[in-house]
Amino acid sequence: MLHVVRSILSFLLLASTVVTLPASHVSAQQATPDASAAEGDFAKTIDIGGRALFLTCAGEGAPTVIIDHGQWGSSADMVPLQRELSRETRVCLYDRAGMGQSDPPATPITAPRTAADVVADLHALLEAADVAGPYVLVGQSAGGVFVQLYARTYPDDVAGVVAMNAVPPFDPDAAPLMTEQERTEEMAYYAGGEGTEDFDWNTSFAQLDAAGPPPALPFLVLISTITQCESPDDICGRTYGVYETGMEELAAQWPQGQFTQVDAGHEVFYNPEAVAAIRQVINATRDPSLWEMAMATPGSGTPQP
């Protein structure tokens, strides 16, 4: 699928360093606190100020895990991971604007949505639904970018972050490995479009660069090996090494960053090793010494208790 390929490799042209603030920003104060997802099984659309987003929570305990789904997907895609993690803590899924059971973004849409729009929506949703933090944020593909920006925007609300096969920023080493048509398609993808999930990634990564510094909390970059590529000769296979290096560098940018690979498809969260790695982040928020031990181990991949 095209979005899988694009999640594995990005061709990002940052033509401008100007950060555009989201026109559709909705503050939590505008939301209507008409339901509480603080405990028990919960599945409901929540008003965040003139439109509603779908939220579903299960399990008990702290920290609360918030899962952000992949591009063009919905919370339904992440139910298997919720089911696994909710055995030991509270886990909430939501549908981004216009996906699943959520209302579309505020209309008219005058420009493609950005990561800051998504973060504003999620922050308003969690406050309106009375979901207490701090959170462990887990994001798949596009969601892997959004959880990074959320943590850097609201660091006091976050206890840990997992970015799974996240959409990467531009790496000039990738361009020579693509055909002219592939480069054209990547540029169009990163510029965004009129669809709800056709994000302006150029602006989104500029927003991430302009956000506060990465906070000192457990941060796991979790990616699939080259096994996720259909062929060593397709765009995924040809550029996988660039992606791999970029994700290693991303982990190194965070004070408590760790990098882990598992042999899995793009939906890495189906892999038991991946689920175990996410659990390590959750456990580290309860006992920071677990993450300190992992950081002190040279060449460590998955943090070990």
Calculated CA dihedral for residues 19, 183, 243, 141, nearest 10 degrees: 60
Q: Which domain holds residue 173?
A: 2-11+23-295
The total of structural domains in the chain comes to 1
Q: According to the model, what pLDDT value does residue 169 have? A: 82
Rounded to whole angstroms, the Cα distance separating 106 from 104 reads: 7
Rounded to whole angstroms, the Cα distance separating 26 from 166 reads: 25
Q: According to the model, what pLDDT value does residue 5 have? A: 37
Q: According to the model, what pLDDT value does residue 115 have? A: 98
Q: According to the model, what pLDDT value does residue 137 have? A: 98
Q: According to the model, what pLDDT value does residue 297 have? A: 66
pLDDT lower than 50: segments of the chain: 1-33, 298-300, 302-305
Residue 300 covered by a domain = no
Residue 17 covered by a domain = no
Residue 301 covered by a domain = no
Residue 171 covered by a domain = yes
Nearest to 91 by CA among 44, 37, 144, 48: 37
Rounded to whole angstroms, the Cα distance separating 221 from 125 reads: 25
Residue 82 covered by a domain = yes
Give just the sign of the alpha carbon dihedral 106, 109, 111, 115. positive
Residue 73 phi, psi (nearest 5): -110, -155
Residue 289 covered by a domain = yes
The terminus-to-terminus CA distance of the chain in angstroms comes to 37
Residue 225 phi, psi (nearest 5): -70, 180
Rounded to whole angstroms, the Cα distance separating 189 from 167 reads: 12
Give just the sign of the alpha carbon dihedral 90, 96, 97, 103. negative
**Residue pointed to by tokens 């939906």:** 267
Residue 211 covered by a domain = yes
Rounded to whole angstroms, the Cα distance separating 102 from 305 reads: 38
Q: What is the CATH number of the domain that holds 42?
A: 3.40.50.1820
Residue 32 covered by a domain = yes
Q: According to the model, what pLDDT value does residue 171 have? A: 79
